[in-house]
């Protein structure tokens, strides 16, 4: 597992080793799962932000922190 902090919020995740892995990802943002998936084209997606696919777990999680009300810690995220 890898951990990282963005805007004061810690998230822990593991990137699948298999190059062609498709399915759920284990990403915990302050102990809450963010229900992210890796798709067959190698992009990452979450239903919380349904109009965009991401290139990495990190960019997806940072976007969740910035934009999803439930995961925002404060009214100032930017």
Partner 1 sequence: MINLRKNVKSLSPNEKEHFIEAVKALKANTKGKRVADNKYDDYVLWHAQTMEIAAGSDANKNMRNRAHRGPVFLPWHREFLRRFELDLQQEVSDVTLPWWDWTADANLRSQDPQIPAWTLSPIWKEDFMGGNGDPDSDYIVGAGPFKDWITQELDDAGNPSIKDRLRRDFGNFVRTLPSQIDLYNIFTYEFFDTPYWDVFSKGFSNALEGWLNRPQLHNRVHLWVGGSMLLNTSPNDPVFFLNHCNVDRIWSLWQDLRYDHGYPDDGTIIDRNAKKIDYYNLSDKIFPWQDEPGSKSIENVLEHRNLNYCYVYEK
Return the residue of 9, 53, 58, 62 that touches partner 1, per CB under 8 A.
Answer: 53
Q: Stretches 4-12, 13-21, 62-70: which one binds partner 1 (CB under 8 A)?
A: 62-70
The reply on whether position 76 binds partner 1 by CB under 8 A is yes
For residue 14, what are the contacts with CB-CB under 8 A and spacing of at least 6? 1, 2, 25, 26
Distance CA 71, CA 20 (A): 29
Q: What kind and span of H or E run contains 5?
A: strand 2-6
For partner 1, the closer CB: 4 or 33: 33
Binding site residues, partner 1, CB under 8 A:
23-24, 32-35, 37, 39-41, 45-53, 67-71, 75-78
């Amino acid at each position: 597992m890898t951990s990282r902090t963005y805007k004061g919020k810690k998230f822990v995740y593991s990137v699948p080793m298999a190059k062609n892995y498709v399915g759920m990802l284990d990403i915990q943002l302050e102990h809450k799962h963010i229900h992210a998936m890796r798709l067959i084209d190698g992009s990452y997606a979450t239903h919380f932000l349904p109009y965009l696919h991401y290139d990495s777990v990190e960019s997806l999680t940072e976007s969740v922190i910035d934009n999803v009300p439930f995961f925002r810690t404060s009214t100032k995220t930017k």
